């Protein structure tokens, strides 16, 4: 057996034109050790990739399981946080704009509240939208708009603006334009849901949709950035939000920032 395999290996090397056919010959007779080795190496590689992906998704964040996108999403977190936002902002929840991927589901949820009107901006292509979402788009409640450009709304159009995920995909150059523009359309407050460093977002196949990979910035990065951009934290809103959340042991899986608008 050893002899044979040594021979077939030598044939493999010698017969440069048809390395595969001689390899297949060897395989059909007895499995070549070269082939077995290759399969083992491939198996180990797949296992490593699987474990690495798994730990970043499940270890990084338990809540990610069952997320709509398959990977982690702060938009989903906005939906969970709505009752606490309502406690923190009360009356300022009467005219809400949500900006972020999957905005249709947030807008629908907001519209189901009493005394809340809601609109949405979807910053990326919408695929596989359901009938409910198509109807929101048709009515002009949800718009698809590139948030690198000024939003199609007048100043102070909304009492509260909530943005999730979208800012994680912008470089500081664009953030410098987009963040002040979000504050411009907000009359009472701007709430930002940003990913935590280490969280995984968007499969490679989806990167063309988002333009660049998400960059999860630390809270100190964001705070420094808000100071640079002259945006202040609304401490009273933050306090009310955290009080309401802790009463129900709710812990947001994303970083949540409560900012005052410019006016
Ligand atoms: C963004 O704006 C800040 C403050 O206005 C400025 O210091 C910084 O250089 C700007 N960054 C980019 C990439 O333009
Ligand atoms: C801070 O948030 C509260 C809601 O908790 C809101 O009523 C108030 O207007 C906000 N303050 C400022 C200065 O934006």
- pLDDT tens string 73-122: 899 999 999 999 999 999 999 999 999 999 999 999 999 999 999 999 99
Q: Per residue in 217-252, pLDDT tens?
A: 999 999 999 999 999 999 999 999 999 999 999 999
Q: Per residue in 7-50, pLDDT tens?
A: 444 444 444 444 444 444 444 445 566 767 666 666 665 655 55
Looking at the DSSP bridge assignments, the partners of residue 119 are: 97
Residue 193 Cα to ligand 2 middle (Å): 18
* Ligand 2 atom with minimal separation from the 241 CA: 5
Q: Per residue in 157-211, pLDDT tens?
A: 999 999 999 999 999 999 999 999 999 999 999 999 999 987 766 555 566 666 6
Higher pLDDT, 27 or 127: 127
Which residues are CB-contacts of 252 (< 8 A; sequence separation ≥ 6)?
77, 80, 81, 193, 245
Q: Is 120 in the pocket of ligand 2 (CB under 6 A)?
A: no
* For range 122-144, the mean pLDDT: 90
Rounded to whole angstroms, the Cα distance separating 216 from 232 reads 21
pLDDT of res. 19: 42
Q: Is 234 in the pocket of ligand 2 (CB under 6 A)?
A: yes
From the CA of 172, the nearest ligand is 1
From the CA of 171, the nearest ligand is 1
Q: Is 186 in the pocket of ligand 2 (CB under 6 A)?
A: no
**CB of 57 closer than 8 Å to CB of 71:** yes
Residue 11 Cα to ligand 2 middle (Å): 79
pTM (2 d.p.): 0.74
């Amino acid at each position: 057996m050893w002899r044979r395999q040594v021979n077939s290996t030598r044939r493999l090397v010698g017969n440069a034109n048809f390395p595969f056919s001689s390899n297949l010959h060897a395989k059909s007779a007895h499995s070549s050790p070269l082939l077995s080795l290759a399969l083992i190496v491939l198996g180990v590689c797949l296992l490593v990739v699987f474990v690495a992906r798994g730990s970043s998704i499940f270890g990084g964040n338990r809540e990610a399981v069952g997320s709509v996108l398959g990977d982690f999403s702060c938009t989903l977190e906005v939906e969970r946080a709505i009752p606490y936002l309502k406690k923190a902002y009360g009356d300022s929840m009467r005219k809400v704009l949500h900006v972020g991927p999957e905005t249709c589901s947030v807008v629908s949820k907001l519209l189901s509240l009493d005394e809340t009107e809601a609109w949405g901006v979807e910053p990326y292509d919408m695929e596989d939208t359901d009938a409910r979402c198509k109807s929101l788009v048709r009515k002009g409640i949800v718009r698809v708009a590139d948030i690198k450009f000024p939003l199609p709304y007048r100043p102070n159009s909304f009492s509260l603006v909530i943005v999730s995920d979208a800012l994680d995909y912008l470089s500081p150059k664009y953030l410098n334009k987009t963040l002040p523009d979000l504050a411009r359309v907000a009359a009472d407050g701007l709430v930002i849901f940003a990913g935590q460093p280490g969280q995984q977002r968007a499969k490679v196949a989806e990167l063309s949709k988002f333009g660049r990979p998400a960059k999860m910035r630390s809270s100190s990065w964001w705070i420094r950035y808000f100071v640079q951009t002259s945006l202040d934290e609304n401490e009273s809103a933050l306090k009310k939000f955290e009080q309401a959340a802790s009463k129900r042991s709710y812990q947001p899986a994303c970083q949540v920032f409560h900012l005052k608008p410019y006016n």
